[in-house]
Amino acid sequence: METRTPYPALAEALQALQAKDNLRVLMTIEKREGPFVWSNGRRFLNLSSNDYLGLAADPALQEAFHARHRGQNPAFAPGLSASSSRLLSGSHAAHARLETLLAACYQREAALVFTSGYHANLGLITALVGPRDAVFADRLAHASLLDGILLSGAKLHRYRHLDCDHLEMLLVKHRPGASKALIVTESIFSMDGDAADLPRLAALKKKYGCWLYLDEAHAVGVVGEKGLGLAEKTRTLGEIDFLIGTFGKALAGLGAFLIADRVVVDYVLNHARPFIFTTALPPLLADWQAFLWERLHTWGPRRERLLSLSARLRQSLHALGLPATGQAHIIPVVLGENAPTLHVAQEMQTAGYWLMAIRPPTVMQGTARLRLSLTADMRWEDLSGLPQRVSAALASCRPSALKGAGA
């Protein structure tokens, strides 16, 4: 007897995704071992992680952190749960220590820690702008930024990716009719691995009386002499009104932070709903982030190694005629359609690479890709065979390529 689902519309929607080679499934990782992961008893080189500095699986760092806590009075040890919103009983000394450290490193008045980057972007943008305002966003800005803008009710104007001339055209046309105006961009773009022109954006912000909102999620820890991000590298830190960084990528943890003037932070903690109505980051995790942040300036050699590996791999892909782009530690290989991208990803998984197919809506239609995300603890010996395998997999691609996992 045929089993009938009470949710036929949902089942049909899933079938439609599968027909377009766009269905996602979860793949479980059992353990980590440096730059490798284990799944179903097999070891894979992990090319899908955002652990750019290789800190998350560094046993020496973890032992040093735990050793520090073993010497503390248990009554003052940070807990595994904040148990509440920070505006109730969830704001702990560990949060305050972390925020003080962050503000000092950026030489700004204040910092505010959020539970995730998505919470930060959603909460900040909806708190800062509304229906009388305008937001000018890079067309490839992250989903969390776009969702915050749409939820705010502000008028959204999307400029062509990295095209500051197009942005200025939109500012000339639409800035006069808006009360407040916000320019929104990522620094290093998460799926394209390219970088915003921050000096030009800062100049446009001044010229047209806007605020500049910068998401440094994929640059914090990796870019800049001290690892503070692209704004540090381009000497534009003082021009950024709202700088967002995350702990869940190069900083091997969870959560995000805002760097801004004190009046902004005070306003945001009174108006950002995802901050007000969310249980705070676990104090133990806030302490871990402070522990890592104190050492951030010492990891210049890791940053140099990561960028050197990335440049070498990109050159090797180019030598085989593969469409590798970007200019950072994220190397997209744009293959176009979903089916060949899924096929190549599956072939790479068979060869021992943890590599997923990135498809719409994560990226624009017709730009499905492999996203090669490198980490500083990788060796060239583990990467050197990858370009030839990608080339061979692409050459063997068939329309009947099997469907697999991906973003």
Known catalytic residues are: 50, 142, 186, 190, 215, 218, 249
- Residue 308: Cβ within 10 Å count: 12
Q: Could you give the CA distance from residue 236 to residue 186 in angstroms, rounded to a whole number? A: 14
Record the tokens describing residue 86, joined without a space: 């920070």
Determine the Cα–Cα distance for residues 154 and 181; give it in Å rounded to an integer.
Answer: 9
Taking only Cα atoms into account, the Rg of the chain, rounded to an integer number of angstroms, comes to 22
- Sequence-ordered list of residues with C-beta below 8 angstroms from that of 366, at least 6 positions apart, any chain: 336, 337
**For residue 284, how many other CB atoms are within 10 A of its CB?**
18
- For 223, the 3-state DSSP assignment is coil
CA distances from 34 to 38, 58, 322, 335, 375 (A): 11, 7, 28, 29, 10
Using an 8 Å Cβ cutoff, are 257 and 60 in contact? no
The DSSP secondary structure of 338-395, one letter per residue, reads: HHHHHHHHHHHHHTTEE--EE-TTSS-TT-EEEEEE--TT--HHHHTTHHHHHHHHHH
Q: Which residues have a Cβ under 8 Å from the Cβ of 386 and sit 6 or more positions away?
A: 47, 313, 316, 348, 353, 372
